[in-house]
Each structure stands twice: as C-alpha cells, then as structure tokens.
A = this chain, B = another copy of it.
Amino acid sequence: MDEERDRRARFERGMAVLREIDGEEARRVLDTLADVSPELAHQIVAWGFGEIYARPRLPPRDRQLVTLGMLTALGGCEPQLQVHVGVCLNVGLTPAEIVEALLHAAPYCGVPRALNATLVAKRVFAERGLLPVVDAGRAE
C-alpha cells in the first residue's frame, strides 16, 4: 500500500545516506535493535538519516560538528560518540580537527564532558591506527 511503499522508500533513502557516511558501526547498532525495537531502528534510518540528515542545506561535515557538540554536552552518550567520531573521520574531519572541537567544548560543557568525549575519540583513533594525533599541541 501507499503507506507501506512510503516507509520502504524513506528507509532506503536513509540506508543510502548511512552507506555513504558510515563504515559498519551504525549498522551494527541497528542490528542489536532487531529483536527488541525494530521500529526504533526503522525510525533512526528512515527519519534520522532519510529525512533529516539527507537534507542538502547542511553538508555532513557541518552536521558532524554540531553532533560532536551535542553528544559531548549530553553526557552518557559514549556509545553514540563512538559511532559518530567514526562518521566524522569518514566525512572528512581530521583527527586534529575532532580533537580541537572537543577541546573547544571545555569552556561550554566543562572539562569532565570534554575529557570523556576525548577519551572516546582516542579509542576510535586507536582502532583506526591514528594515534598519536598529529598536530594536536603539547601538554606543557
């Protein structure tokens, strides 16, 4: 039916966006929802990516900067930060830019949130062989 085909079309649109910006991380998360809340998985793909993320008015690189800010400020979203730091790298942000964005977070969210987010980024960088981060300042 129309509604049926409509759902499938938006889901496909969302999957197309996901395939462009995500390696496998986000899709693995969606799989974990299959036996508990497949509808939430559908909405993440169809609405989150198919309707909102797909909009051309803001490119993925810009969207990911906003997302870094949100997930850092929220706190307790380390699983999502893990996925989205990966997406950041996929859409063209460098490790140094990601690190700088999280440092920029410190005056706004406080050091604890900025620090917790930075340590999540470190894990993602480690997995991708991107440590140490080049051009990331010095401690002293």
Asked if A37 and B99 make an inter-chain contact with CB atoms under 8 angstroms apart, the answer reads: yes
Q: Chain B residue with minimal CB distance to A35?
A: B132
**A8, A34, A69 interface centre (most CB from chain B within 10 Å):** A69
Q: How many residues of A contact B (CB 8 A)?
A: 83
Please determine whether B34 and A101 come into contact, CB atoms closer than 8 angstroms.
no
The distance in angstroms between the C-alpha atoms of A113 and B108, with both chains bound, is 8
Min CB gap A108→B, angstroms: 5
With both chains docked as a complex, state the minimum distance between the C-beta of A115 and any C-beta of chain B, in angstroms: 7
A23 interfacial contact with B, CB 8 Å: no
Point out the residues of chain B lying under 8 angstroms from A121, CB to CB: 36
Chain B proximity of A95: nearest CB distance (Å): 8
Chain B residues near A44 (CB-CB < 8 A): 107, 111, 115
